Amino acid sequence: MMLRLPDPKNARRWCAEQRAAGRTIGFVPTMGALHPGHMELLRRARAENDVSCVSIFVNPLQFNDPKDLASYPRDSEKDARMLEEAGCDMIFTGTLEQFFPEVESLEQIVKRHPGPGAEGVEGAARPGHFAGVATICERLFKVVGPTRAYFGEKDFQQTLVIKDLTRALGYPEIVVCPTVREPSGLAWSSRNYLLSEADRVQAACLSRGLFAARATWRTGERDPARLRKVLLQELQVEGVEPEYAEVRDPEAWRPDPPNGPMTRAQALVAARVGRVRLIDTLRLDTND
């Protein structure tokens, strides 16, 4: 039986009990509207730990656009069913008031500085977004304590921000799992539930662009501007306007390319398809 805890205080107690009994916890933080990418995170969390838990909380602090928050897909009963069938041990949720009991009004919540990983790309496109992610993740990590937490590579820059955060907190251990894609190549995201059939066909150009850039990298191309152009060509074919497209060194994480030829490269893209904003990413110099 999966335990459903609507109050983070009780979830904290459950996690403390698990640790006291010597059990490791695999934690998957989510905003619900679960999809195969989330289920893969849970599969890994279960395989690598004694017990698993998933948080479901649509965090208002990380939405820079109120319309985006209002239209974010939500289906908590379906989510709970999927998690129970997949063998999750505990799910928890909460309200902003429960996650931040020390403030009298929500305007008083002090957002965390998200660290250098938040600079540029998605951080520049969505001001305040990563501060909101870091702020809630700190609270979620306080609920689960020192454990392993599982994140998808699709939100690559988020994983940089989370790693900055866990370096500061000293826990948990972060496990980044490969992006799960639909058969068309489209990366799974909760936002895919908002796409029409026609949007879905168009949206596949994002991953086509990324894989074209990887194929070009493999021919020996190391110029980020030319790799970016290859990516963008696939979007142009579908008439999809990019919000950004960048090729960066994933470890140095600086906008300017290194002095010598690139040895590591992460391509990142964001675009609106229909009414839906999508992001995707691919490491060019590995098969991951």
Report the site for ligand PAF in 140-169 (rule: CB under 6 A).
155, 158
Contacts of 110 (CB under 8 A, 6+ apart): 135
Angle made by CA atoms 181, 125, 239, in degrees to the nearest 5? 60
Q: Which is nearer to ligand PAF, 126 or 283 (CB)?
A: 126
CA–CA separation, 44 vs 56, rounded Å? 18
Quick one: tokens of 141?
């990590």
Q: Which is nearer to ligand PAF, 216 or 266 (CB)?
A: 266
Interface pattern 29-58 for ligand PAF (x via CB under 6 A): xxx---------------------------
Interface pattern 102-141 for ligand PAF (x via CB under 6 A): -------------------------------x--xx----
Q: Which is nearer to ligand PAF, 62 or 147 (CB)?
A: 62
CB of 260 to ligand PAF, least distance (A): 34
CB of 275 to ligand PAF, least distance (A): 20
Q: Which is nearer to ligand PAF, 27 or 217 (CB)?
A: 27
Contact predicate 114/133, CB 8 Å: yes
CA–CA separation, 194 vs 13, rounded Å? 36
Stretch that binds ligand PAF, among 28-36, 42-50, 72-80, 266-274 (CB under 6 A): 28-36
Q: Which own/partner pairs from 208-215 qualify as long-range (CB within 8 Å, at least 24 positions apart)?
A: 208/234, 209/233, 209/234, 209/235, 209/245, 209/267, 209/269, 210/267, 210/269, 210/280, 210/281, 210/282, 211/185, 211/282, 213/247, 213/267, 213/282, 213/284, 214/267, 214/282, 214/283, 214/284
Stretch that binds ligand PAF, among 26-34, 221-229, 261-269, 279-287 (CB under 6 A): 26-34
CB of 21 to ligand PAF, least distance (A): 26
| Structure letter (DSSP) for residue 110 | P
CB of 97 to ligand PAF, least distance (A): 16
CB of 73 to ligand PAF, least distance (A): 12
CA–CA separation, 192 vs 275, rounded Å? 11
CB of 189 to ligand PAF, least distance (A): 9
The CA–CA distances, whole Å, from 50 to 26, 39, 46, 146 equal 8, 17, 7, 14
Report the site for ligand PAF in 53-82 (rule: CB under 6 A).
59, 62
Q: Which is nearer to ligand PAF, 141 or 217 (CB)?
A: 141
Q: Is 129 a catalytic residue?
A: no
Asked whether position 209 contacts ligand PAF by CB under 6 A, the answer is no
Other CB atoms within a 10 A radius of the CB of residue 215 amount to 12
Phi, psi (deg, nearest 5) at residue 228: -60, -40
- Helix, strand or coil for residue 247? strand
Amino acid at 7: D
Q: Which is nearer to ligand PAF, 30 or 147 (CB)?
A: 30
Stretch that binds ligand PAF, among 27-35, 163-171, 208-216, 228-236 (CB under 6 A): 27-35
CA–CA separation, 157 vs 135, rounded Å? 15
Interface contacts to ligand PAF, rule CB under 6 A? 29-31, 59, 62, 133, 136-137, 155, 158
Catalytic residue positions? 38
